[in-house]
């Protein structure tokens, strides 16, 4: 069991994350605050109490979570880079919530607007505890960043209300939210204040989830009803009418410990398993850990895009069938990748297995950064792996979960670089950075130009010489890594890779330097033959970076005319002027000529092909020039 | 200008069409009558007058057309194979319609049920004249088959009503139906009775279509309104509310003579251009012919599936963009292919150009027979070119246009085999058959095993020796044809192919024999590189037959694992026991192995492949064994 080094102790200095953090701080977070105001999401709380439905629109049931995620992002941001305007904005939000909070602790702009008598009657769909969970995360982050407990006080009172209503009542004793989130938030509150009540409530939510089919004696057919059906009937509604058509949509089709596959709405699933992993770590419940490992392995082996994208279908914003990974209409919501990072980090800290860090790296260098423009102002909600040119980033969304989610992740990116335990330090990511590990009296300086260059230098500064294990992740994509200490190569045989890491145990002294080389040839990646969408195609990767073709670099929107010649050498060229500074690939290819066909739509002779070099750019930065077609998987 | 030899003069004796005609006669037509009764489509007329909306469901606005198309099919059937039950059923329908007909001539089960005051107020969407057109076609066929005019009398009276209301009124003077059909039916009535009134009404409908944007003086913004907008406003409805969102959906976006592209709902388009071609032929209007030729060429060059399927999208049951031809979700409605046969036949008779006969052949041997099971009881409405196994035939449809449409086509298939004019006889299709051409005192016996064998024998029996031109179509798919007369080969140089035909002009004597050889190697067909869906793939054809892979013959549902090796010889093997007797293909291929991947979803080395022989069967007969995946376009 290791603990992540907190982002406040990890100063990113690389060319990939650090500029994004700066843009996030200087552009994204302020501009999102403006939008939250403009769209009424913050003032929504102020209308509570003197609300006239005829005068005001009803705050959407998701709105509080948008404000919450933004507040969490702002708290992280001022934790590392103080900013009075953001500090004040957070205080304003705290004060607004405090003003709006009911005497019994309840606070929710939607229900307080439409009528609090309706509260807690539709946990299945109303996102009530989801909003509460996000607000709670914000409160914890705010307390940690500022030491203030103005927001935390509100949320702790709200959580007392929730726990009293849930575990303290017969009516709601088996209730749980249709959108998991509060569980992981309660764990964070427990970690902050040590009050077991929060941990127990989180565990309760996971324990009762999906348990709820019980024979009702008074029902003639002894019909088995799901908890959510009973909740709907109690409201006087027909369960068949509600939009989430299967319990699997919200991972409530079976008790959590019995789940074997990743199913349903992707964000719900990864948020839930984040909490499940937290609980496994904190309670030692091996049945929870086993479920999390099982479902994780299923997700990675059968339902994850090569870019990290999770969730195929728009219909359920989630998973469909094994190996069903269509490219052009991939959903791959940005939020699902962010949640996967949370889950992976918990699993990594429990198991020490590098496969979880591989996932974090995949998400952070590919699907997640693709979700926001380089200038920090425009967003993708869905991240398809191919586009005819019609998929373009938006300024905002009615359902605006992704933008503030990216903001809070970017503001706390340092969390994922390294961890520590009693035996030593584990380095998971190789972005150039300055890391402080107080427990080991260590300053660790990571340098190099990762992810564009695989040569990494780690310089240790120690208060005193000290024996500990320095573990370095060897990514699954890497073959032929090399390690040297103070210029002396350690033969691979002496340094076996175990669970994705090499561990150097020695007496470390200040100014020791470890050099790690992770060779980065361009790789042509093939999908499992069960994946129909990728048959006959390859994806290009170099290091952790997944590439794509964009129309503007190549033949225009008809990228399907390109066929790679993957047995020929592909050159990687770093270009500091391109898309914020990226390594692009120059790939020998053929392009089917579309001239010479006259009016023929079909003919017995194939098209003539031109020999060309196509340009591939990182998927992470696509759609940052003119809109156009894009493809990750290319014919080969 | 040639005239088709009527189907009553063409007795099909081949192994492809003749069995289908028999099943159509013995199974399909009787079973459809049963379904029409069972679903209330025929009794709907009997409820008229004493209708109580509370007691009865409302007849759907399409229903009359289902009855009509069935009646047309039954009339054709008894024209060649008398059957008292069908004859009686037709009389019953005629009597029912006569009973239901209003004094002013109007007859429509939907409007007479919901209230005749609403009639003729929503030509845009109500399919009122569409139903009338189909009933009129049935009446003409019934008269020709039986000599009876009980149904024709009803419909002629109805047509007088329609013409009076349309051309005789100011309100409806610019009105036309949202679903074209009546235009071609009116032409058929004119051809039957020679009354120019019908021809003029048909011409009127084509003339006014898409003309209707005119500035309304009293409208402040001088808004330009389409005729259909004005119709909607007259009903008190907002034009924006109706479901056909563009005028192009029903080819009313521009005057017909100005149309340049095939657009919108596919069945509407091909029915309309059938009438346009008819009118061009009958009136000599070259502007109509030019429009039909222009739109035809656009359709064939950019918007036709290799199987003949027309119309890509379910959303509009029609055309989308150039080269947009997705396979798995192809719409390719059976009815659209049937309408294309009608249109093509008109164009063929006007121009004598074999490209139209090529289309007829493509449709009749591929997309249309695919639309009905070999046992004649189950139907496809949509005909995709790939399926994951979920696309299976249905017993019937709520919108049941396709089943009776196939029935009427199959019952009159002989219409498409040959035509005649003053100079001679043109043979378009090579199905074994016995053809009588009275004008030339000729019996023509076509023999051979087409479409499985390209060697065709034509034996002439003449009442007296006679000089005329015998024109034989050389299909566009054929290279290296050979012709001999009475055993003597005619060198190709002496017999040039002109517009897709070779013409042998000579003094013909009885027992003359012409042998035509159309070599049928298997062809691997490539799509124009603009077609994204077919990039890197080939389709297999032999003669006029398009092939597909089915799961049950090959690797199961994962047909995407198959990659053809098209440069290796493909063998064609005729199997009289397979699917009613077809020539199957044995194709050298590789199948990507899906073992050895463990839990890997992606990896740097490609899948190992097994060398196999895959079996391809005609697309026309797919889904006649167990349901399963299917693919026309295969990786190569």
DSSP codes joined into one string, B218-283: TSTT--EE-HHHHHHHHTT--GGGSS--SGGGGT-SS-GGG--S--SBHHHHHHHHHHHHHHHHHH
> Of A41-45, A122-126, A244-248, A464-468, where does mean pLDDT reach its minimum?
A244-248
Mutation to test the B interface, candidates A296, A529, A594, A612, most B Cβ within 10 Å: A529
Closest to A419 measured CA to CA, from A369, A472, A464, A381? A472
Are residues A558 and B530, on separate chains, in Cβ contact within 8 Å?
A: yes
Chain B residues inside the 8 Å CB shell of A388 = 532
DSSP letter (8 states) at residue A94: H
Residue B194 to residue A434: CA distance in whole angstroms? 95
- Considering only the beta carbons, identify the residue of B301, B597, B602 that sits closest to A525: B602
Give the pLDDT confidence of A300-345 residue by residue, as tens digits: 999 999 999 999 999 999 999 999 999 998 999 999 999 999 999 9
Chain A residues inside the 8 Å CB shell of B560 = 532, 535
Do residues A569 and A602 make contact, with C-beta atoms less than 8 angstroms apart? no
- Determine how β-strand A424-427 pairs with β-strand A466-473: parallel
Chain A residue with CA closest to B303: the answer is: A601
> Of A4-8, A134-138, A218-222, A472-476, where does mean pLDDT reach its minimum?
A218-222
Mutation to test the A interface, candidates B475, B523, B601, most A Cβ within 10 Å: B601
The per-residue pLDDT for B218 is 41
- Considering only the beta carbons, identify the residue of A527, A528, A561 that sits closest to B535: A561
Closest to B12 measured CA to CA, from B523, B526, B431? B431
Query: Is B315 at the interface with chain A, CB within 8 A?
Result: no
**Phi, psi dihedral angles at B631 (to 5 degrees):** -145, 130
Within 10 angstroms of residue A571's Cβ, the number of other Cβ atoms is 11
Chain B residues inside the 8 Å CB shell of A525 = 602-604
The burial of B286, by beta-carbon neighbours within 10 Å (0-12 exposed, 13-18 middle, 19 or more buried), is given as exposed
Mutation to test the B interface, candidates A595, A601, A604, A619, most B Cβ within 10 Å: A601
Residue B446 to residue B15: CA distance in whole angstroms? 13
Are residues B558 and A524, on separate chains, in Cβ contact within 8 Å?
A: no
Query: Is A321 at the interface with chain B, CB within 8 A?
Result: no
Question: How many CA atoms does the CB half-sphere of A568 hold within 13 Å?
Answer: 14
Do residues A411 and A24 make contact, with C-beta atoms less than 8 angstroms apart? yes
The per-residue pLDDT for B43 is 80
The partner residues of B379 in beta bridges, in order of sequence, read B372, B394
CATH 2.60.40 segments of chain B: 418-450+455-517
Within 10 angstroms of residue B479's Cβ, the number of other Cβ atoms is 12
Name the token pair of A108: 């929710």
Give the pLDDT confidence of A138-151 residue by residue, as tens digits: 999 999 999 999 99
Chain A residue with CA closest to B592: the answer is: A529
Q: Would the pLDDT of A214 be above 50?
A: no
Query: Is A597 at the interface with chain B, CB within 8 A?
Result: yes
Residue B622 to residue B394: CA distance in whole angstroms? 14
Are residues A524 and B604, on separate chains, in Cβ contact within 8 Å?
A: yes
Give the pLDDT confidence of A506-536 residue by residue, as tens digits: 999 999 999 999 999 999 999 999 999 999 9
Find where tokens 């573990």 sit: A471
Q: Would the pLDDT of A215 be above 60?
A: no
Chain A residues inside the 8 Å CB shell of B302 = 601
| Confidence class for position A54, pLDDT limits 50, 70, 90 | low
Q: Would the pLDDT of B309 be above 50?
A: yes
What angle (nearest 5°) sits at the alpha carbon of residue B189, between those of residues B183 and B193? Answer: 150
Chain B residue with CA closest to A304: the answer is: B601
Residue B438 to residue B446: CA distance in whole angstroms? 16
The per-residue pLDDT for B220 is 44
**Phi, psi dihedral angles at A468 (to 5 degrees):** -160, 170
Are residues B526 and A607, on separate chains, in Cβ contact within 8 Å?
A: yes
| Confidence class for position A247, pLDDT limits 50, 70, 90 | confident
Torsion of CA B601, B607, B608, B612, to 10 degrees: 110
Name the token pair of A569: 């050498």
Say how far residue A261 (Cα) sits from the centre of its chain.
19
Query: Is B595 at the interface with chain A, CB within 8 A?
Result: no
The per-residue pLDDT for A49 is 56
Out of 3.30.60, 2.60.40, 1.10.3110, 1.10.10, the CATH code matching A418-517 is 2.60.40
Do residues B198 and B155 make contact, with C-beta atoms less than 8 angstroms apart? no
Instruction: Give the count of Cβ contacts less than 8 A between chain A and B.
Output: 103
Q: Can you give the C-alpha Rg of chain A in angstroms?
A: 25
CB-based contacts of B448, cutoff 8 Å, min separation 6: B430, B432, B455, B456, B457
> Of A246-255, B236-245, B457-466, B571-580, where does mean pLDDT reach its minimum?
B236-245
B482-485, strands of its sheet edge to edge: B10-12, B433-437, B442-447, B455-462, B513-517, B482-485, B488-490
The per-residue pLDDT for B224 is 56
Give the pLDDT confidence of A532-588 residue by residue, as tens digits: 999 999 999 999 999 999 999 999 999 999 999 978 999 999 999 999 999 999 999
Query: Is A298 at the interface with chain B, CB within 8 A?
Result: no
Q: Would the pLDDT of B55 be above 70?
A: no
The partner residues of A513 in beta bridges, in order of sequence, read A459
What residues of chain B, 544 to 583, have a C-beta less than 8 Å from chain A? 558, 560-561, 563
Chain B residues inside the 8 Å CB shell of A539 = 602
The burial of B453, by beta-carbon neighbours within 10 Å (0-12 exposed, 13-18 middle, 19 or more buried), is given as middle
* Average pLDDT of span B260-264: 97
Q: Where are the beta strands (DSSP E) in B38-161?
A: none
CB-based contacts of B84, cutoff 8 Å, min separation 6: none
Query: Is B604 at the interface with chain A, CB within 8 A?
Result: yes
The per-residue pLDDT for A295 is 98
| Confidence class for position B214, pLDDT limits 50, 70, 90 | very low
Chain B residues inside the 8 Å CB shell of A602 = 306, 525-528, 539
What residues of chain A, 376 to 415, have a C-beta less than 8 Å from chain B? 388
Are residues A599 and B635, on separate chains, in Cβ contact within 8 Å?
A: no
* Average pLDDT of span B362-382: 98
CB-based contacts of A107, cutoff 8 Å, min separation 6: A45, A97, A100, A101, A135, A154, A158
The per-residue pLDDT for A158 is 98
The per-residue pLDDT for B222 is 44
The per-residue pLDDT for A50 is 55
Q: Would the pLDDT of B351 be above 90?
A: yes
* Average pLDDT of span A206-221: 62
Chain B residues inside the 8 Å CB shell of A304 = 601
Give A546-568 as a 3 state SS string. Answer: EEEEEHHHCCCCCHHHEEECCCC
Q: Which fold has domain B418-450+455-517?
A: Immunoglobulin-like (2.60.40)
The per-residue pLDDT for A217 is 36
**Phi, psi dihedral angles at B589 (to 5 degrees):** -155, 170
Say how far residue A177 (Cα) sits from the centre of its chain.
20
Are residues B300 and A601, on separate chains, in Cβ contact within 8 Å?
A: yes
Chain B residues inside the 8 Å CB shell of A302 = 601
Q: Would the pLDDT of B242 be above 80?
A: no
Residue A205 to residue A178: CA distance in whole angstroms? 11
What angle (nearest 5°) sits at the alpha carbon of residue B355, between those of residues B351 and B356? Answer: 65
Closest to B624 measured CA to CA, from B581, B582, B585, B579? B579
Closest to B404 measured CA to CA, from B141, B144, B18, B628? B141
* Average pLDDT of span A184-190: 98
The per-residue pLDDT for B80 is 98
CA of A599 vs chain B CAs: smallest distance (Å): 5
Element (H, E) at B492: none
CB-based contacts of A234, cutoff 8 Å, min separation 6: A121
The per-residue pLDDT for A218 is 41
- Determine how β-strand A537-542 pairs with β-strand A545-550: antiparallel
Query: Is B261 at the interface with chain A, CB within 8 A?
Result: no
Chain B residue with CA closest to A600: the answer is: B301
Mutation to test the B interface, candidates A535, A595, A631, most B Cβ within 10 Å: A535
Residue A109 to residue A481: CA distance in whole angstroms? 54
| Confidence class for position B567, pLDDT limits 50, 70, 90 | confident
Is there a cis peptide before residue B403, judged by omega within 30 degrees of 0? no
Are residues A607 and B536, on separate chains, in Cβ contact within 8 Å?
A: no
Give the pLDDT confidence of B585-614 residue by residue, as tens digits: 999 999 999 999 999 999 999 999 999 999
* Average pLDDT of span B283-292: 98
Chain B residue with CA closest to A524: the answer is: B604
Active-site residue set of B: 317, 401
Residue A270 to residue A291: CA distance in whole angstroms? 13
The per-residue pLDDT for A237 is 85
Query: Is A307 at the interface with chain B, CB within 8 A?
Result: no
* Average pLDDT of span A6-29: 98
Give the mean pLDDT of chain A.
94
Chain B residue with CA closest to A604: the answer is: B525
DSSP letter (8 states) at residue A28: I
Count, in order, helices (H) and strands (E) of chain B.
17, 25
- Considering only the beta carbons, identify the residue of A535, A602, A635 that sits closest to B527: A602
The per-residue pLDDT for A40 is 87
Give the pLDDT confidence of A397-441 residue by residue, as tens digits: 989 999 999 999 999 999 999 999 999 999 999 999 999 998 889
Residue A161 to residue A201: CA distance in whole angstroms? 12
Q: Would the pLDDT of A617 be above 50?
A: yes
Of residues A224 and B350, more confidently modeled: B350
Element (H, E) at A568: none
Q: What percent of chain B has pLDDT over 70?
A: 95
* ipTM of the complex model: 0.94
Give the pLDDT confidence of A56-85 residue by residue, as tens digits: 567 889 999 999 999 999 999 999 999 999
Q: Would the pLDDT of A245 be above 80?
A: no
* Average pLDDT of span A438-450: 94
Are residues A601 and B304, on separate chains, in Cβ contact within 8 Å?
A: yes
Element (H, E) at B58: none
Active-site residue set of A: 317, 401
CATH 2.60.40 segments of chain A: 418-517
Query: Is A629 at the interface with chain B, CB within 8 A?
Result: no
Within 10 angstroms of residue B76's Cβ, the number of other Cβ atoms is 30
Do residues A295 and A262 make contact, with C-beta atoms less than 8 angstroms apart? yes
């Amino acid at each position: 069991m290791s603990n992540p080094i907190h982002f406040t102790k990890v100063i990113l200095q690389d060319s990939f994350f650090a500029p994004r953090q700066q843009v996030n701080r200087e552009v994204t977070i302020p501009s999102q605050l403006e939008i939250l105001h403009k769209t009424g999401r913050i003032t929504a709380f102020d209308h509570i109490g003197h609300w006239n439905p005829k005068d005001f629109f009803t705050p959407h049931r998701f709105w509080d979570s948008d404000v919450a995620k933004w507040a969490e992002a702002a708290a992280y941001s001022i934790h590392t880079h103080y900013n009075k305007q953001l500090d004040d904005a957070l205080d304003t939000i705290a004060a607004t919530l405090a003003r709006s909070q009911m005497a019994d602790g309840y606070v929710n702009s939607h229900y307080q607007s439409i009528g609090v008598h309706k509260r807690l009657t539709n946990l299945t769909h109303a996102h009530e505890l989801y909003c509460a969970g996000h607000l709670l995360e914000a409160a914890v982050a705010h307390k940690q960043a500022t030491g203030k407990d103005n927001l935390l006080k509100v949320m702790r009172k709200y959580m007392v209300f929730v726990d009293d209503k849930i575990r303290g009542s017969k009516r709601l004793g088996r209730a749980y939210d249709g959108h998991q989130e509060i569980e992981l938030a309660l764990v964070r509150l427990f970690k902050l204040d040590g009050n077991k009540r929060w941990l127990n409530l989180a565990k309760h939510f996971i324990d009762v989830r999906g348990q709820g089919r019980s024979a009702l004696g008074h029902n003639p057919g002894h019909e088995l009803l799901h908890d959510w059906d009973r909740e709907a009937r109690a409201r006087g509604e027909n369960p068949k009418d509600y939009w989430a058509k299967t319990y699997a949509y919200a991972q409530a089709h079976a008790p959590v410990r019995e789940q074997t596959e990743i199913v349903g709405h992707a964000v719900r699933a990864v948020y839930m398993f984040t909490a499940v992993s937290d609980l496994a770590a904190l309670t030692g419940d091996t049945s929870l850990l086993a479920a999390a490992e099982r479902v994780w392995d299923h997700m990675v082996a059968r339902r994850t895009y090569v870019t990290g994208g999770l969730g195929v279908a728009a219909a359920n914003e989630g998973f469909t069938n094994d190996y069903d990974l269509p490219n052009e209409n991939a959903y791959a919501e940005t939020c699902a990748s962010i949640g996967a990072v949370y889950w992976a980090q918990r699993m990594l800290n429990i198991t020490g297995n590098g496969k979880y860090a591989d996932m974090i790296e995949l998400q952070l260098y590919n699907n997640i950064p693709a979700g926001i423009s380089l200038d920090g102002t425009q967003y993708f909600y869905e991240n398809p792996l191919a586009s005819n040119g019609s998929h373009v980033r938006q300024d905002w969304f009615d359902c605006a979960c992704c933008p503030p989610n990216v903001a809070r992740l970017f503001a706390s990116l340092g969390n994922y670089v390294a961890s520590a335990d009693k035996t030593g330090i584990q380095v998971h990511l190789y972005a150039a950075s300055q890391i402080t590990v107080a427990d080991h009296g260590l300053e660790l300086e990571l340098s190099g130009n990762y992810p564009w260059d695989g040569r990494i230098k780690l310089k240790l500064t120690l208060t005193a010489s000290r024996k500990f294990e320095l573990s370095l992740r060897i990514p699954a994509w890497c073959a032929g890594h090399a390690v040297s200490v103070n210029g002396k190569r350690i033969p691979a045989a002496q340094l076996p890779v175990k669970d994705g890491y090499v561990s150097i145990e020695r007496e470390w002294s200040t100014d020791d330097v470890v050099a790690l080389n992770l060779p980065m040839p361009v790789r042509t990646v093939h999908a499992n033959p069960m994946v129909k969408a990728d048959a006959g195609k390859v994806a290009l990767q170099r290091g952790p970076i997944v590439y794509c073709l964009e129309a503007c670099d190549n033949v225009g929107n008809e990228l399907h005319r390109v066929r790679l010649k993957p047995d020929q050498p592909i050159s990687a060229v770093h270009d500091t002027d391109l898309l914020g500074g990226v390594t692009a690939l120059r790939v020998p290819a053929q392009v089917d000529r579309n001239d010479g066909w006259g009016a023929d739509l079909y003919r017995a002779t194939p098209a003539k092909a031109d020999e060309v070099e196509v340009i591939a750019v990182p998927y992470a930065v696509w759609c940052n020039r003119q809109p156009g077609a894009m493809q990750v998987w290319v014919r080969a």
